Amino acid sequence: MGIILKFSDKDLELLATALISQANHCQTMVDDLKEEMEVPDCQEYLECLVDLEKDWGRKKKEYEELHTKIRMQARRKALEDFCSEKAEAFRKLGDSAQKYALHVGGSIRETFLKLENSLVGPK
């Protein structure tokens, strides 16, 4: 059985940012090494560096996609929370408005009955 780790969206975003930074750093190192090794007897090493560069490019792209996905999930969650809060507030407002309307409606009806009784007299 493996260990299950739980990270917050912020932790995952920081991790993805760090991985992107590391990928950029490695890309810079590869570029520097390529410049140093561009001599005929280093062709084999140059090919290895090109392969490494491609691999880092793929990894960097994966990290960037992960970073974007994490940020989108965090935004979606924040929007869902915001909408839920507003929906609850509107529901409460609707309940209050309905209670007030019933109260006012009852008061108006009662007032009209009193007015009618005073004009016509008791039945």
Query: Whole-prediction pTM value?
Result: 0.40
Which amino acid appears at position 104 of this protein?
V
How far apart (Å, rounded) are the C-alpha atoms in residues 19 and 64? 9
How far apart (Å, rounded) are the C-alpha atoms in residues 7 and 29? 30
User: What pLDDT score was predicted for residue 107?
Assistant: 76
pLDDT over 70 (residue 2): no
pLDDT over 80 (residue 69): yes
Instruction: Write out the residue range of the structural domain in which residue 57 sits.
Output: 9-88
Determine, yes or no, domain membership for 70. Answer: yes
Determine, yes or no, domain membership for 34. Answer: yes
Determine, yes or no, domain membership for 67. Answer: yes
User: What pLDDT score was predicted for residue 122?
Assistant: 59
pLDDT over 70 (residue 103): yes
Domain total for the chain? 1
Determine, yes or no, domain membership for 116. Answer: no
Residues 86-102 pLDDT 10s? 888 888 888 888 887 77
Q: Closest by alpha carbon to 16, among 84, 62, 52? A: 62
Residues 8-65 pLDDT 10s? 777 777 777 887 888 778 778 777 776 766 655 666 777 777 888 888 888 888 888 8
Determine, yes or no, domain membership for 78. Answer: yes
Q: Across the chain, how many H-helices and E-strands are there?
A: 2, 0
